Chains A and B, each alone.
Chain A
């Protein structure tokens, strides 16, 4: 029996190279996240440190970046715009999303579950510009006909569209959270003779609450970060909304609408990047919170 030969030096070297490459790709996500923050910060940093007025930025609703006489960069109205559509979207998406998650997890047969999950997945795949288009055409028409407003591009339009966009992520993560509740909880409760309502309300929802909270947070993150759909569906008014029928502008839409016009490296341009930093920070915090909550679940 001859002993097995040893592998050629070349092979061992090639393997060391591949493993180094793998390690590099492994940390690539961290590099990219830092990179995104770095480059967005860089483009806005000059103005940020020389002449940027924090108070005006956060507390003034006067957004006049292109004014000839008195330039103002107050984003309060934009924050209100983002907040209003997000709140409305969550008010619609959370109950329906969790309701659907409950239906899929607790009431469905295996066949129906597969079809519903496929449908939700397809719902999630619809591009945001198509959603914006739906808001611009179908929802616009509907709102004008139903509520007799002159234009149908407003908080209601954007909120409903955002709700439909956020539902899939709430359903999918919510369903995971419910599935994670051990069957023994259900069996014990049903053996005690509780109704379905009570089982859901008193046993399942409390047990899954961390996962459901994480689902909602991720839905919020999605809604806050959405750009094209709200750009096309909420109108162009930079004001704090007082009713659902008011048009608004979100933070994201503002960047998208004005970046093309702002001269490169001008103050206006840099402020748009600063808004980008703000958005990045918000979604970063939301994602971090959701991750911490989910980790708390796993430790239980």
Chain B
């Protein structure tokens, strides 16, 4: 069973103080699939990702119940949280370039994990920047500050950083919100390149993006998982739930 599913979520309930953010979500993410997650704002999509890589720990009044397994490991029982987070690449909505050189940005995660060898680091940095479609633009200025790049470049830098620790899962949280359409397309190409090798969870506010990229799509509304099915089914004339039909066609949200 667990060989098939990269992520297993069973009856996940999350509360921030008095507010229920996720109300009993059960879903599985298959290995090497692209799972699209769509839904209007405040549906719990970002919270879902935060639970997976345990960054929910830093939200002061969050209460998490239920079972979440990544690669068969119960995420909430894990002792070495940094190791868990290295298994999962995370790309947030706003592009972030760390105030380090571009090289140090991408070398950061391997260094923190203990990689010391200069050649190894250089190889990794080049590989990840190439995978993120950023290498050609920055290869001559790897020592310049990451914060000085454009928004689109910083988002690709974030992806390079996320890939630098060899994750098995890549989670993207509305990555295209703050970048231009051209860069969005380039990053979508990057994801297409990666899809056969790693599992991807793609949270997006652009339903068409899910349609383009996702194998299966999950529709969240107000903390509930409304429907999870093959993408064609979600976008067809007859999805299982009428709310899915309406949301996908822009009738609300």
Residues of B within 8 A of A2 (CB): 166
| Residue ID in chain A nearest B166 by CB atoms | A1
Interchain CB contact under 8 A, B115 and A5: yes
| Cα(A193)–Cα(B44), bound, Å | 47
Chain B 68-87 near chain A by CB (<8 Å), digits 1 or 0 = 00000000000010010010
- Residue B114, interface by CB 8 Å: yes
Residues of A within 8 A of B110 (CB): 4
Residues of A within 8 A of B114 (CB): 4-8, 11
| Residue ID in chain B nearest A3 by CB atoms | B166
- Residue B113, interface by CB 8 Å: yes
| Cα(A139)–Cα(B112), bound, Å | 62
| Residue ID in chain A nearest B112 by CB atoms | A7
| Cα(A63)–Cα(B113), bound, Å | 69
Residues of A within 8 A of B113 (CB): 4-7
| Cα(A11)–Cα(B166), bound, Å | 22
| Cα(A8)–Cα(B114), bound, Å | 7
- Residues of B143-169 whose CB lies within 8 A of A: 165-166
Residues of B within 8 A of A8 (CB): 114
| Cα(A3)–Cα(B86), bound, Å | 10
| Cα(A1)–Cα(B120), bound, Å | 11
| Cα(A6)–Cα(B113), bound, Å | 6
Residues of B within 8 A of A11 (CB): 114
| Cα(A5)–Cα(B116), bound, Å | 10
The main secondary structure of chain B at its interface with chain A is helix
| Cα(A268)–Cα(B115), bound, Å | 66
Interface size class, chain B: 10 to 19
Most interface-central of A4, A5, A11 (chain B CB within 10 A): A4
- Residues of A215-247 whose CB lies within 8 A of B: none
Residues of B within 8 A of A3 (CB): 166
| Cα(A7)–Cα(B112), bound, Å | 8
| Cα(A4)–Cα(B165), bound, Å | 6
Chain A 1-24 near chain B by CB (<8 Å), digits 1 or 0 = 111111110010000000000000
| Cα(A4)–Cα(B115), bound, Å | 7
| Residue ID in chain B nearest A6 by CB atoms | B114
Interchain CB contact under 8 A, B115 and A6: no
CB distance from A194 to the nearest CB of B (A): 41
| Cα(A259)–Cα(B52), bound, Å | 64
| Residue ID in chain B nearest A4 by CB atoms | B113
| Cα(A2)–Cα(B113), bound, Å | 13
CB distance from A12 to the nearest CB of B (A): 9
| Cα(A5)–Cα(B120), bound, Å | 12
| Cα(A2)–Cα(B110), bound, Å | 11
CB distance from B187 to the nearest CB of A (A): 21
| Cα(A159)–Cα(B83), bound, Å | 63
Residues of A within 8 A of B112 (CB): 7
| Cα(A8)–Cα(B112), bound, Å | 11
| Cα(A108)–Cα(B80), bound, Å | 54
| Residue ID in chain B nearest A7 by CB atoms | B114
| Cα(A31)–Cα(B5), bound, Å | 52
CB distance from B236 to the nearest CB of A (A): 38
Chain B 91-119 near chain A by CB (<8 Å), digits 1 or 0 = 00000000000000000011011110000
Residues of B within 8 A of A5 (CB): 113-115
| Residue ID in chain B nearest A11 by CB atoms | B114
| Cα(A2)–Cα(B124), bound, Å | 10
Chain B 166-186 near chain A by CB (<8 Å), digits 1 or 0 = 100000000000000000000
Residues of B within 8 A of A7 (CB): 112-114
CB distance from A8 to the nearest CB of B (A): 6
| Cα(A208)–Cα(B86), bound, Å | 49
Residues of B within 8 A of A4 (CB): 86, 109-110, 113-115, 165-166
| Cα(A4)–Cα(B86), bound, Å | 9
CB distance from B39 to the nearest CB of A (A): 33
CB distance from A254 to the nearest CB of B (A): 49
Chain B 33-59 near chain A by CB (<8 Å), digits 1 or 0 = 000000000000000000000000000
| Residue ID in chain A nearest B113 by CB atoms | A4
| Cα(A3)–Cα(B114), bound, Å | 11
| Residue ID in chain A nearest B83 by CB atoms | A6
Chain B 103-142 near chain A by CB (<8 Å), digits 1 or 0 = 0000001101111000000000000000000000000000
CB distance from B60 to the nearest CB of A (A): 17
Can you sample 23 A-B contacts with CB below 8 Å?
A: A1-B166, A2-B166, A3-B166, A4-B86, A4-B109, A4-B110, A4-B113, A4-B114, A4-B115, A4-B165, A4-B166, A5-B113, A5-B114, A5-B115, A6-B80, A6-B83, A6-B113, A6-B114, A7-B112, A7-B113, A7-B114, A8-B114, A11-B114
Extra A-B contacts (20), CB below 8 Å, given A4-B109, A6-B113, A11-B114: A1-B166, A2-B166, A3-B166, A4-B86, A4-B110, A4-B113, A4-B114, A4-B115, A4-B165, A4-B166, A5-B113, A5-B114, A5-B115, A6-B80, A6-B83, A6-B114, A7-B112, A7-B113, A7-B114, A8-B114
**7 tightest Cβ-Cβ pairs between the two chains A and B:** A4-B113, A7-B114, A5-B114, A1-B166, A4-B165, A4-B110, A3-B166
